[in-house]
Amino acid sequence: MSGELPDCSPGWTENTDVTDDIIISGSPVLRYSGEFWTSGQRKGSSLHEISYRACFKPQLPAFFIRQLTSEGDLVYDPFNGRGTTAIEAALQRRAVAANDINPLSLILTLPRLQPPDAWEVKKRLDEIPYRGDNRVDIDLSMFYHQETEAEIVSLRGYLLEKAHTGTLDHIDEWIRMVATNRLTGHSPGFFSVYTLPPNQAVSAERQVLINRKRNQKPGYRDTKDLIYRKTRSLLKGVDETARDNLRYAGENAVLLSRDARDTPELKAGSVQLTVTSPPFLDVVQYSRDNWLRCWFNGIDTQTIEKDITMTRSLREWEEVMHGTFRELFRITKPGGYVAFEVGEVRRGAVKLDEVVVPLGTRAGFSCQGILVNCQHFTKTSHIWGIGNNDSGTNTNRIVVFKKGF
């Protein structure tokens, strides 16, 4: 089970702490600790600026994609989230496969593989009929001005009807993605009054308390203008080379919404690299945090609650992850890799990297080591419940597996 991480780049082991006396399931495993990438080391594409709960930064998949794949190789993420791995792989002209049992994931991913021009979005927005008397059957007055709510309900109806009739095109899909991302947030760039950041939607009851505490009430937001402005922001760094790479990936992308343990659409031995981060036990409540996004897109939150792996039982989590590793072993090329990012949860009492190593090896992989990327502490880590080391930094812990020795 022991092994060595590949020689990722010249001098990549410099200033790296290597520990070789870690014993997991009776075998030694190398652990590499250092700052392998930083947020400022390579600024991520503006296309990544779509908020989603518990997502890693693009620098993480970028590191592994650059070092462990070549142009045209297939890169996969079985827990796709907002699509960070998929978009980063596409930008580097790799083939893309992505899966997430939460249907919101593909709503946020697919449009960025075929981005329209900003002028096309503005033209389409101007064509969408808005009715000022449109209302919803749930109380959203704590989030939205009455006129803003009417615009949101009108847009929602338009998009749901187009989806139902199969006439939703790539411009509509882009507008749906951006609107989903702008529903609530903590600045005037969102449709709502001030609330929590857009990767989590508070309950209506809690928003009432926030409004009362801040002595605020929802003001009017021009939803068409905000969608257009966010569109321009997302596309600001997308040049012709990036568009060409995205089209290349998007034309043949395999995008799934199913259980990660059963993905027959992916051929055996087809994936060169998997980069992923699974649900961390019950740290994140995806359906609760996305209830407003689900409403806007006509998605049943009860279905998400039932299907997504959220459990307080480590044993149940291990069973799901072992099934996932068995499927990953089937689809991975001989000599291919899996980079499985996990964290410390429950204040460090559960070290998921050490839990994951035997799961992958039981499925047939060889463990190449555990890569620990240390960075300055962020508030997000506290939100996730991820432990932090004593020096005030938070870590990404990535267990690297290889198919073959």
103/33: higher pLDDT: 103
Strands 393-402, 344-345: pairing kind: unpaired
Which pLDDT belongs to residue 12? 43
195, 212 contact by CB (below 8 A) = no
Average pLDDT over residues 353-371: 92
Which pLDDT belongs to residue 390? 39
- The percentage of the chain sitting over the pLDDT mark of 70, rounded to a whole number, equals 81
Domains within the chain, CATH numbers bracketed = 17-113+239-402 (3.40.50.150), 118-234 (no CATH)
Which pLDDT belongs to residue 22? 72
Count CB neighbours of 397 within 10 A: 23
Q: What is the CA radius of gyration of the chain?
A: 22
How far is it, in rounded angstroms, from Cα 71 to Cα 93?
A: 6
Task: Provide the residue type at 226 as one letter.
Answer: L
| Contact partners, residue 174, CB within 8 Å, separation at least 6 | 111, 115, 116, 121, 231
Which pLDDT belongs to residue 383? 32
* Distances 256 to 124, 264, 287, 296, 351 between C-alpha atoms, Å: 28, 10, 19, 21, 29
Band (389; pLDDT cuts 50, 70, 90): very low
Place of tokens 């080591």: 369
| Contact partners, residue 15, CB within 8 Å, separation at least 6 | 34, 35
Band (34; pLDDT cuts 50, 70, 90): confident
Average pLDDT over residues 198-226: 92
Residue 132 in this model has a pLDDT that exceeds 60: yes
* Low-confidence winner among 47-56, 110-119, 259-268 (lowest mean pLDDT): 47-56
379/194: higher pLDDT: 194
Give this prediction's pTM: 0.88
How far is it, in rounded angstroms, from Cα 322 to Cα 315?
A: 10
Which pLDDT belongs to residue 215? 97
Band (198; pLDDT cuts 50, 70, 90): confident
Phi-psi region of 346 (alpha: psi -120 to 50; beta: other; left: phi over 0): left
The helix/strand/coil state of 109 is helix
Residue 392 in this model has a pLDDT that exceeds 60: no
Which pLDDT belongs to residue 176? 98
Task: Provide the residue type at 291 as one letter.
Answer: W
Mean pLDDT of all residues in the chain?
85
Q: Note the pLDDT tens digit of each residue in 283-313.
A: 556 667 788 999 999 998 776 665 565 566 8
33/223: higher pLDDT: 223
Average pLDDT over residues 355-363: 94
